[in-house]
Structure 1
Amino acid sequence: MIFFRKRSWLILILGIGGIFTYTQCTDTQAQETAMPDVIDYNYHIRPIFSDRCFKCHGPDANKRKAGLRLDTPEGAYAAFKDNPSMHAIVPGHPESSDAFQRLITKDTSLLMPTPSSHLTVSQHEIDLIEKWIKQGAVYKPHWAFIKPVKAALPDADEDWVRNPIDYFVFAKMAEKSLKPSPEASKEQLLKRVCLDLTGLPPTLDMQDSFMKDDSPQAYEKIVNELLGSKHYGEKMSIQWLDLARYADSHGYQDDGLRTMWPWRDWVIHAFNSNYSYAKFVTWQLAGDLLPRPTKEMLLATGFNRNHKITQEGGVIDEEYRVEYVNDRTNTFSKSFLALTFECARCHDHKYDPISQKDYYSTYAFFNQVPEKGLFGTIDASFADPPNMTITTKDVQSILKFIHKKDTASVDVMVMADSSKRRPTYVLSRGNYDMPGPEVGVGIPTSILPYSTSKYGQNRLGLARWLIDPQNPLTSRVFVNRMWAQFFGRGIVKTVGDFGMQGELPTHPELLDWLAVDFQSHGWNIKRLVKQIVMSATYQQASTVTSSAQQVDPENIYLSRMSRIRIPAEQIRDQVLASAGILNQEIGGPSVKTYQPKGLWEVATSGRGSLMNYIQDHNQDLYRRGMYVFIKRTVPPPTMLIFDASNRDQCEVQRGRTNTPLQALVMMNDPHVLESSRVLASQFSREKGSIDEKLTRAFRRIVCRAPNEKELAMLKKYYEAEQTSCVQNPKKVQKLMKIGEYKQDKAAVTGSTAAMMLTIQLIYNMEEAIMRV
């Protein structure tokens, strides 16, 4: 029996069949409270209007009905053209506000939203709107477009707080009648911070050392050690690879080979070297436009070239070139601004103040690349231009972080602008062959006005605009994404949407405090990460009390630590590392590990080097999950089952699912079985009782000592399997041949096979792949 728990979802899997039971509470249910004394437009009214009204009465002029605009005060207060005595909203007078009267009318021909829309407004929401109008119907700019300011720290329990984060969290808990959880046990805390900062479980030596260290600085010493680890950059890079849509193939039907892994090596290097976020962003957006750019700066711009590229003959060149520019534009807006610019490609945005002209003005920054929609052959030995060549000499000098395994040169795609500026046009309905008015470079003024004289007219100017201290989004978006990485949920839940359809921040003052603090301390990423993991909020136990479950089932207010299943790549890492067979080399080309036969063959176009799957061998089989080869049309199946991105497009946050397939992977994946075999073989050569060996196995995988009941159950299972294996030598032979890792012939015994199956059972415990 295997239990997989995820937030408020529970899935129980028995054997290979599935029985599903689940419950989930919505955020609205959790957050709806009594009527506030002061109604705030951003936090109480705009979400209602955006969800129910703006589709017909919002920014999109082409879809606006009755000429009524409710997203601006000028539109809402204006007299109706056909009846100057009437107004949608009259500040102070809901009885004279036609928009409000249409919310409460019993006449279905006048009722808004219309019955045919299947949208409704609750009585609580009607009461909020009525009180807001009575209080003056004051509009405000969207909260995310207001420059963040550093609020004073609220009152808090001085004995609990450890840094400024905790003041804000404690105040919100107190507001909701919640109390902090006790501190997590040392074992839990060590596993948590190791998985969060390096993606690897703590070794037995680390566990022993930490448990013996009773000094007040014990935890901080571990944090500093992990931040200095070469594996820190690997862990931090995984999320960035999702954002940058990194893959090892081009995508589309032919899906030929692509070589961009040196750019991945640079990302790891940048995180390990603690490049400031300002530098990290600027180099990726415009490293080629900096004065006297180095090869490292050029390599960083590969971020912009990770999009899909077609290699299929017969396509219309310009159509696909336009698609690539659209991809770069959309990736920029999602990655750095958390806004859905793509909604304005064909028409004005229906909810956010982003016009179609704004979209193509942003598009113009990325429209200067001298590229083609179709270039080269499916197995071209060189990258599509613009590109750069990385030689052995480069790797020995300025690009020492690149893990190039042979002396052959490597070509990667980078950015460059044409010497002659390409004009940019608004494309009618987003069609490449329907150009409209010409536009220059720009950004929606609602965020921060773009001045070409101040910033410039190219991508470097865009990068300067992005890190301008007056920009209200850049630092907010990044600190929120970091928060989500450590707590499983952002302060703004919709990590990729800070627009009007996105969620409101649960702790707005904390978000703004972190954003300003991050900027004012040089955009220092490691400092931000250390702030988060050193907080009392992060160090809480994850145990759920019945009272907290009732008040806050999704842990919005952080009165406990979240329980999160580790990402797909880390599940592989956890298994290999705990068995002691993980290949810990950093960077280099991607590897092809175990995979069911025939997957590529049934999905391929039938040509090119990726037509057939050719598995790697030896140490390449045991590299970290982030180095597993990603073919876009056929991504690694095991990782997809655990919600990894297929890297088709920019993905700011992975989904989280629970399916019976995940249990089947843990029970049958060759790497899990192989790791169990290798670890069991190691124990067969070591001295000690079965209890001692089971305890060591448990500690290596679960990262804590088993209690008496757990140990007794494991020993009972081991003894039953030992009896079965002794009676069935063929079963032993079959089990001990799983995987390519060198077999210890002396360990091919019934006892070792029984230990292997017991270790596999431990891997299948919920806690083995959870960060608690």
Structure 2
Amino acid sequence: MTISKNSFLTFSSFLLLLLGACRNESSAPIGLADGDQISYNFHIRPILSDKCFACHGPDANKREADLRLDTEEGAFAALKESPGKFALVSGRPNESEVYHRITSEDPGELMPPPESNLSLTAQEIELIKRWIEQGAKYEPHWAFMKIEKPSLPETDWGTNEIDRFIFSKMSQKGLEPNKEADSYSLIKRACLDLTGLPPSPEILEAYAGFPEGHSYEDLIDELLNQPAYGEKMAILWLDISRYSDSYGYQDDNIRTQWPYRDWLIHAFNKNMPYDQFLTWQLAGDLLPNPTKEQILATAFNRNHKYTEEGGVIPEEYRIEYVLDKTNTFSKGILGITMECAQCHDHKYDPISQKEYYELFAFFNNSKEKGFEGDVSQSKPAKSPILWVEREDLDGILSFINHQDTSRLSISVMGELEGEEKRTTFILDRGVYDAPTIPVEVSTPKSILEFPENFEKNRLGLAKWATEKENPLTSRVFVNLVWQEIFGRGIVKSAGDFGMQGDLPTHPELLNWLAADFMENGWDIKRLHKQIMLSSTYRQSASLSKKHLEIDPDNYYLARAPRLRLPAENIQDLVLASSGLLVREIGGPSIKPYQPSGLWEAATSGRGVLATYVQDKGEKLYRRGIYNFIKLTVPPPKAIIFDSSNRDRCEITRNRTNTPLQALVMLNDPMVLEASRVLSTKLSEKYKDHESAIEEAFKRIVCREMKSSERSLILDYYESELEEFQANPEKSKQILDVGEYPMNPEAITPENAALMQVIVSLYNLEETITKS
């Protein structure tokens, strides 16, 4: 079933209406002309989902008056409590009980009832009336419809297919695309998007102006082949897979899952197809003659929290672990929030409690236990365990960065077999000790029925998820990549493609990308290149009055977005631009500078993580992806810059703007140390401070200085120099920061003044912004 073209043309106005951003009380719905076709999916379902489905939706236990409005059959059936009446009568709003109830002035009849604190606006009522007049046609939920590749719009702007869809929607809104960004902006943008690192002075020099032999496409190819690409991509998946370096809960002791992180980086760098990438993580252990690499990938399932506290009920926590696996799969891979179906039928999406536990059953046959020892007996990994021997590191697991001689242990998946195989029950209200009806493995029929010929285990689930008939997996992933690049997905609620999720701003583009992704072998690097070669991506970020009037939130991408860097990449930018960055790939997590007392204030006082022990030497200058994550006390600087705390699957990070962020950039020892080190290096390289400042600006801001900026910065340097020359003792105070060795001869007023200039450059909004 397809949605008519007209139903898409005006949907975005209603997205704003649904978000509560744009409402008025005129008699006609915003943005719709009298003859426009009303779409159930894009105009009506969101209203009913928000205002009606809690009482008249999928949850049979909470359904009022035995009336179901989320299905066509239920909505057109005769009302049991009002014989001869119908909730909906096609083409006749005045004979439709729904219309009478939403327009009634009698509080006893009005729907939604006043006590629900819900109400319909005049526009929503008018919209429902017009939909009934047009036949009250239902449609399957857009996200559950089979992915079909739509035809390309006829447009004359852009460099590839993406631009046709973007320009078509843009022009409907009266917008025109921005000009292409200058080469320095594009180089910085591409480097940050593909590697999470700023462009080096050498890359800036080679690609500035994109001369012959160093085209923009050449730059993209070079960046896709850098090892840093895998590190950048892995951050997204570490959030999804809830990776951490500790077990969580009260004792929160150490764990050794970091080889899984090494595998992630390796998989992205070698461009493992996404369907294989998922299959290995979900069920690598169930493949024929599985290798240790395939088994290692299944650590994805076991990254959840574990309790080590005495006195717990093992089965209670085992069930918690299986629930976590189920919810991570549904949210991270399918983009559907199923958690509420643990206790009852889903109130908004067509997923029953029975179907939830049928999905749960795929993960319920693991050998893992709900409780294993206490903190005094803590093991690096919980069973089942994959042991990595030294010989493995010279062979199939050579990508693991392990320097010492000990064996590694990683928590991975493993199946119970034969008589031990568990029976899965629907749990009454989701309680671990309240089993009711037994169920077999299966998947929600509203998404895609589970084929009879697929294995009844996680391998079968992986095949189902990557089946080309599955309407969600490809859509969800291309949306995640789009979100990584543009800051917001085509579907803003990237982890919720269900009834309560946001509508796609460009539904045809989403379908086209999802279909094209599968047609081309689930090739992740190809998808990245495709998006980044588009004219949409290459626009400047300049903001006009027209942009603000028509599209202040940049839904239609008539300009490039301005986005603050993720927390890890802010650290990376500072270290890389200063020359401090250690580019070693993989290995155990490291403990950088951190305010004292944080761990100690939030610990049980037991275990090796009771006290924070900062690392030394080169470990202090690793990329942000390698920072040690203790679940009860995540890295404070990263949290201030909106990183995930990793205690559950996270699909989207917030981007806030708080004074704490400015305080970090002005006072963090890493930023100050990097400024001191760069100042020293440039002072040794150049005899004049102007040349030193020029290179510092190019390294940090990633472009050449304008003349007005040069004058301002040089004036600042002179004023700081004068201050330090008048108070020589202040030079040592300023420069005495961090553990990187300091040459006593470099403790000069000139070096201190240059350091202050560099600190100010790191604190520019432009520095930590991709634009």
**Which bracket does the TM-score occupy, shorter chain normalised?**
over 0.9
Q: Is the 8 A contact 2:490 2:506 kept in 1?
A: yes
**Correspondence list, 1:164-313, <5 A:** 164-211=161-208, 213-215=210-212, 218-313=215-310
Query: Shift of the alpha carbon at 1:327?
Result: 0.2
3-state DSSP of counterpart to 1:194: helix
Q: Is the 8 Å Cα contact of residues 390 and 407 (structure 2) preserved in structure 1?
A: yes
Secondary structure of the residue aligned to 1:437 is: strand
Structure 1 residue 729: Cα displacement: 2.2
Asked if 2 retains the 8 angstrom alpha-carbon contact of 1:25 and 1:553, the reply is no
2:722 matched to 1:723?
yes
Output one character per residue of 1:250-287: Cα deviation in whole Å (capped at 9) or x when no partner.
00000000000000000000000000001000000000
The aligned counterpart of 1:652 is: 651
> What does residue range 105-124 of structure 1 map to in structure 2 within 5 Å?
105-124=104-123
What is the CA-CA distance between 1:206 and the residue it aligns to? 0.6
On the 8 A contact 1:336/1:477 being kept in 2, the answer is yes
Deviations 1:436-461 (A, max 9, x none): 1001101110000113x321210000
Structure 1 residue identity aligned to 2:469: Q
Checking the alignment, whether the CA contact within 8 Å between 2:65 and 2:81 is kept in structure 1 is no
CA separation in 1, counterparts of 2:107 and 2:715? 69
CA distance in 1, matches of 2:262, 2:131: 53
Aligned to 2:92: 93
Aligned length: 746
Contact 2:75 2:88 in 1 (8 A): yes
SS of corresponding position for 1:324: helix
1:481 corresponds to which letter in structure 2? L
Matches within 5 A, 1:46-195: 46-157=45-156, 160-195=157-192
8 Å contact from structure 1 (residues 304, 328) kept in 2: yes
Residues 1:400 and 2:398 aligned together: yes
1:689, distance to aligned residue in structure 2 (A) = 2.9
Q: 1:494-513 alignment to 2 at 5 Å?
A: 494-513=493-512
* TM-score after normalising by structure 1: 0.95
**Paired letter, 2:207:** F
Q: Equivalent residues in 2 for 1:384-533 (5 A)? A: 384-419=382-417, 420-451=420-451, 453-533=452-532
The verdict on how the C-alpha distance between 1:381 and 1:73 changes in structure 2, with shifts beyond 3 A counting, is closer
- Cα shift readout 1:549-604 (whole Å, capped 9, x = no counterpart): 11000000010011000000000000000000101000000000100111111111
Whole-Å separation in 2 of the counterparts to 1:688 and 1:382: 53
Preserved contact between residue 245 and residue 649 of structure 1 (Cα < 8 Å)? yes
- Unaligned ranges ≥5, structure 1: 1-23
Tell me the residue number matched to 1:702: 701
Give the corresponding residue for 1:348: 345
CA distance in 1, matches of 2:430, 2:262: 35
Query: Counterpart in 2 of 1:561?
Result: 560
Matches within 5 A, 1:486-635: 486-635=485-634
Counterpart contact for 2:572–2:581, Cα < 8 Å: yes
1:745 offset after TM fit, Å? 1.7
Other-structure match for 2:10: none
In 1, the alpha carbon distance for the partners of 2:17 and 2:682 equals 46
CA-to-aligned-CA distance 1:646-700 (integer Å, 9 cap, x gap): 1000001111211110000000000000000001101111225322221111110
Relative to structure 1, is the Cα distance of residues 216 and 154 closer, same or farther in structure 2, using a 3 angstrom cutoff? farther
Q: For residues 558 and 198 of structure 1, what CA distance do their matches in structure 2 show?
A: 23
* Alpha-carbon shift at residue 25 of structure 1 (Å): 11
Q: Shift of the alpha carbon at 1:634? A: 0.5
The alignment partner of 2:244 has SS state of coil
Matched residue type, 1:486: I
Contact 2:683-2:689 within 8 A present in 1 as well: no
8 Å CA contact retained: 1:443, 1:450:
yes
| Change over 3 Å in CA distance of 1:25–1:392 after alignment to 2 | farther
Aligned to 1:678: 677
In structure 2, what is the Cα distance between the partners aligned to 1:193 and 1:656? 20
Check whether the contact 2:240–2:328 (CA below 8 A) recurs between aligned residues.
yes
2:763 is equivalent to residue 759 of structure 1: no
Amino acid at match of 2:205: D
What SS class does the counterpart of residue 83 from structure 2 fall into? strand
Q: Are 2:184 and 2:702, in contact at CA under 8 Å, matched by a contact in 1?
A: yes
Q: Is the 8 A contact 1:638 1:665 kept in 2?
A: yes
Q: Could you tell me how far apart the structure 2 residues matched to 1:454 and 1:302 are?
A: 27
**Matches of 2:357 and 2:743 in 1, distance apart?**
63
What is the aligned partner in structure 2 of residue 12 from structure 1? Answer: none
Determine the structure 2 residue equivalent to 1:33. 31
Question: Would you say the 8 A contact 2:65–2:80 is kept in 1?
Answer: no
Q: Is the 8 A contact 2:425 2:437 kept in 1?
A: yes
Q: Secondary structure at the match of 1:285?
A: helix
Q: Does structure 1 retain, via aligned residues, the 8 Å contact 2:305–2:647?
A: yes
Q: Secondary structure at the match of 1:537?
A: helix
In 1, the alpha carbon distance for the partners of 2:166 and 2:210 equals 29
Is residue 257–residue 609 contact of structure 1 (8 Å, CA) maintained in 2? yes
* Separation of aligned partners in 2, 1:690 and 1:121: 65
Which is further off, 181-190 or 412-421?
412-421
Q: Are 2:344 and 2:352, in contact at CA under 8 Å, matched by a contact in 1?
A: yes
SS at match of 2:425: strand
The one-letter code of the counterpart of 2:347 is K
Residues 208, 217 of structure 1: alpha-carbon distance in 2 compared, 3 angstrom cutoff? closer
How many Å separate the matches in 2 of 1:274 and 1:426? 40
> Matched residues, percent identical?
54
The whole-number CA distance in structure 1 between the counterparts of 2:380 and 2:694 is 52
TM-score by structure 2 length? 0.95
One-letter amino acid of the counterpart of residue 358, structure 1 = E
- 8 Å CA contact 1:579, 1:676 repeated in 2: yes
For 1:8, the equivalent position in structure 2 comes to none
Asked if 2 retains the 8 angstrom alpha-carbon contact of 1:25 and 1:554, the reply is no
Cα shift readout 1:300-347 (whole Å, capped 9, x = no counterpart): 000000000000111011000000000000000001111011110101
Q: CA deviation at 1:382?
A: 4.3
- Name the aligned partner's letter for residue 408 of structure 2: V
1:730 Cα deviation after fit = 2.3
Q: Please state how far the C-alpha of 1:377 moved relative to its aligned partner.
A: 3.5
SS of equivalent residue, structure 1 residue 307: coil
Q: Distance in 2 between matches of 1:362 and 1:154?
A: 39
Pick one of 366, 369, 383 that aligns with 2:381.
383
| Matching residue's letter, 1:177 | G
Residue number in structure 1 paired with 2:6: none
User: Secondary structure of the equivalent of 1:768?
Assistant: coil
- For residue 307 of structure 2, what is the amino acid of its counterpart? T
The DSSP-based 3-state class of the residue aligned with 1:436 is strand
Give the match's secondary structure for 2:386. Answer: strand
Contact 2:592–2:614 (CA<8 Å) still a contact in 1? Answer: yes
Structure 1 residue 475 displacement after superposition: 0.4
For 1:381 and 1:465, how far apart are their aligned partners in 2?
A: 35
Secondary structure of 1:80's aligned partner: coil
Shift in CA distance, 25/733, structure 1 to aligned 2, threshold 3 Å: farther
Q: Pick one of 342, 356, 361 that aligns with 1:359.
A: 356
Unaligned runs of 5+ in 2: 1-15, 24-29
Q: Is the Cα–Cα contact under 8 Å of residues 255 and 380 in structure 2 kept in the other structure?
A: no
Query: Does the 8 A contact of 2:540 with 2:560 survive in 1?
Result: yes
